[in-house]
Amino acid sequence: MPQNALITPVILCGGSGTRLWPSSRQSVPKQFVQLIGDKSLFQSAVQLAADPGFAPPVIVTGDAFRFMVQEQLAAVGQQASAILIEPEARNTAPAVLLAALHLAQTAPDALMLVLPSDQLIRDPASFCAAVAAAQGHAKAGAMISFGIEPTRPDTGFGYLELSDPAARNAAQPQPLRRFVEKPDAAAAEAMLATCRYLWNAGIFLFSVAAIIQAFRTHAPDILAAVSAARAGAQDDLGFTRFDRSAWARSPGISVDYAIMEKAANLAVMPYAGGWVDLGDWSRVWLESGPDSAGNVCTAGATAIDCAGSLLRSEARGLHVVGLGLDNMLVIATADAVLVAPRSASGRVGEVVARLRRDDVPQATASARELRPWGWFESIACGDRFQVKRILVKPGASMSLQSHQHRAEHWVIVAGTATVTVEETVRELEENQSVYIPAGAKHRLENKRETPILLVEVQTGAYLGEDDIVRYNDQYGRPTPE
């Protein structure tokens, strides 16, 4: 990648997290989960964007994920030039435009490389070479869509039809004949046989000026709404927030439908360097590298006389054993287990829909709840009591708060905590504890360079997370309604 390239990656990381349940959920969707290897898909996208030819990325995400984004960026030693918070999910068109309008003020001559964060690119070097090959066309005003060489007649992707079948392996952007919606199986087979089609990866390269002009021409209603939302922008703890009422006036639509399928200045950059969409558990099984018997087992799983199966345990102390399983999925987390034929992996969304209908908490919430200061997880719960394991990051602090219906007992397991209870402030070290009566104002701070681990025992008539009154919070969170 040329050192003078002015390309800003725009990483989109919203998502609801249903197709890879129970590992991925609404509270922690798949882009933030370690599905393959030791990094999340989001972290892989961030590291892909760390090429020397790229400027620091712009991240577009939702309010619920803002601190997750910060934490995962820090874990891989990367920083964003901006983290833009969507007031609510409105699909990719408003998100892309929001980033474009931001760059129009900060880097108006930039090219935007739009990257979804729920994909995996196996060969970053070859991908960056493809971006470099498309750069000149984008500078000249073309809007580039990256097309993936298909390896099978997949019905889960949209397709890009090339004008010339011989261009499928070209090293430069090629004319695009048309976009094709997700086909049925027969149509996908026929399309693959023609050698004219590439998968639509949802990866784009265009100039800031070109994409804003495209919205002005093809989607002025979105431009009006997002411009008004940006006019009300406010900085908040390293994030940028936007006017919610103006944002809500934008249609919820993908950038493909709103812009790319209507624009005349389109081109396709073919890419065959290894691209993976982990859309369901069957794809995770395949991309994880099955052994000679076709099995994939995590460190906490054992397969005995099994074939073609994925056995995955994400719960500490929970070992999964498969005996005599053929082509099965067994996915175990701390609070849920999925058992299904691998052929049914595309139906996991139905599972989540059913659990939501039945008001099952595991449908959307994870056992480990992430907070800006760290995390907590419930390890025991019964009538009038709950026990939590809590981690507080270095330099972090819980809010000054009180609870009407419960008392709490904190036992420090590791680290040194500064604890406030009403007017008393003291330091607690390992094996020390404090009792907090119902109604008492209290706070726990970590002023050291190592995490604090504690056990919290709650007792009372009501133990819900909404039983909290915040008096002071360094993260600007309100009291739940």
Domain count, the chain: 3
Residue type, 378: S
285 occurs within a structural domain: no
- 214 with 325, same domain: the answer is no
Q: What is the CATH number of the domain that holds 19?
A: 3.90.550.10
The secondary structure of residue 259, as a DSSP letter, is I
- Assess whether 202 and 110 both reside in one domain: yes
Average pLDDT over residues 205-213: 97
Buried b (16+ CB within 10 A) or exposed e, 270-298: bbbbebbbbbbbbbbbebbebeeebbbbe
Q: Tell me whether residue 136 is in a domain.
A: yes
DSSP strand pairing (320-323 vs 337-341): unpaired
**Residue that is last in its domain, among 334, 355, 376:** 355
pLDDT at 146: 95
DSSP lists the bridge partners of residue 207 as 111
For 267-326, the pLDDT digits (tens) are 999 998 889 888 899 999 999 999 999 999 999 999 999 999 999 999 888 999 999 999
Q: What average pLDDT does the segment 185-189 reach?
A: 92
Tell me: pLDDT of 455 over 90: yes
**Full domain range(s) for residue 313:** 290-355
pTM of the predicted structure, to 2 decimals: 0.88
| Average pLDDT over all residues of the chain | 93
For residue 5, pLDDT over 50 is answered with no
**What distances in angstroms separate CA 279 from CA 95, 207, 439, one per listed residue?**
21, 29, 46
How large a percentage of the chain has pLDDT more than 70?
A: 99
If you average pLDDT over residues 241-255, what whole number do you get?
95
Chain segment 340-362, per-residue pLDDT in tens? 999 999 999 999 999 999 999 99
* 142 and 266 part of one domain: yes
Contact (Cβ atoms closer than 8 angstroms) between residue 11 and residue 60:
yes
pLDDT band at 3; cut points 50, 70, 90: very low
Q: Is the pLDDT of residue 103 over 50?
A: yes
Cα–Cα distance, 434 to 441 (Å, whole number): 13
Whether 132 is covered by a domain: the verdict is yes
Query: What integer pLDDT is reported at residue 166 of this predicted model?
Result: 82
**Which pLDDT score is estimated for 51?**
86
Longest dimension (CA), the chain: 76
For residues 252-277, give the mean pLDDT. 92
Predicted confidence at residue 1, as pLDDT, reads: 42
Residues 218 and 258 in one domain: yes
Closest residue by Cα to residue 305 from 321, 318, 319: 321
Residue with the bigger pLDDT between 5 and 338: it is: 338
Is the pLDDT at 418 greater than 70, yes or no?
yes
Q: List the CATH number of the domain containing 453.
A: 2.60.120.10
Residue 130, both tokens: 């493809």
321: tokens are: 């054993």
Q: How many CA atoms lie within 13 A of 415 on its CB side?
A: 25
> Hey, which of 77-91, 143-157, 168-182 has the most confident mean pLDDT?
77-91
173: cis peptide before it, omega within 30°?
no
**What residues does 205 pair with on adjacent strands?**
113, 144
